[in-house]
Structure 1
Amino acid sequence: MAPDNKRPLPQGERFFTPGATGLRKAVERRSAVPMTFLFTQVPRWVAPVVLVILLLAGFAVANWLGGVAALLVLAFVGWLAFLSWPSLGIGGKAMRVAVLVFLVLLVATRFGAW
């Protein structure tokens, strides 16, 4: 038998926000499968490496292709920020907002908004 290289899910905290309703509940439910896949099936280094490559492409390519690359980074980081928002302190929230604003500005410059 081949060894099982899957990582187990972490113990402890719940994935879903207690008492969540509406949009948060819907996003958390739809995100459960992709998050579980990323955590258990994909090597830990893959997501950061792909994000760095896309971000570098966003910086290096000064046209709409760079905008698409940066937009993919913005979407992924925004998704993670949304999911983690309820458990963050003020410093974590401020950092995520700053990163998202930076990415929005990068995307806007690549699509010629400024």
Structure 2
Amino acid sequence: MASKNKRPLPQGEQFFTPGASGLRKAVEQRSAVPMTFLFTQVPKWVAPAVLVILLLAGFALANWVGGVAALAVLVFVGWLAYLSWPSLGLGGRLLRVAMLVFLVILAADRFGAF
């Protein structure tokens, strides 16, 4: 019996990249369960709220704790960017690269690399 709190998966979209092989296919297959869990079991506001809190901690804490927070955001955003890459246009790709570069610089600064 389905719970009332579960959201159905979106219609008409493919999760897996057609014809993918190697690393992309493996990452997409391993990501299917966590992505489905995030979409169907976790309220919509939780992931963005956690990311904002971690990013604010990365800005506010100028030590290794801020670096770990920024690194967590970097990993999550990088994961989503990798999964969405094949369906993006040039503008979307540039925006994701810029965000990842910014998060790398922030994390490196907090770990004392700069």
Normalised-by-shorter TM-score class? over 0.9
Structure 2 gap ranges (5+): none
> Aligned pair count?
114
Structure 1 gap ranges (5+): none
User: Normalised by the size of structure 1, how large is the TM-score?
Assistant: 0.97
Percent of aligned positions with the same letter in both sequences? 82
- Separation in 1 of the partners of 2:34 and 2:70? 21
Return structure 1 stretches of 4+ with deviation > 6 angstroms.
Answer: none
Cα distance, 1:2 vs. partner? 9.2
Q: Letter of the aligned partner of 2:11 in structure 1? A: Q
| Match of residue 58 from structure 1 | 58
User: Normalised by the size of structure 2, how large is the TM-score?
Assistant: 0.97
RMSD over equivalenced CA pairs, Å = 1.3
- Separation in 2 of the partners of 1:5 and 1:54? 26
- Separation in 1 of the partners of 2:3 and 2:39? 18
- Separation in 1 of the partners of 2:37 and 2:13? 18
| Match of residue 71 from structure 1 | 71
The reply on whether 1:30 has 2:30 as its aligned counterpart is: yes
| Match of residue 43 from structure 2 | 43
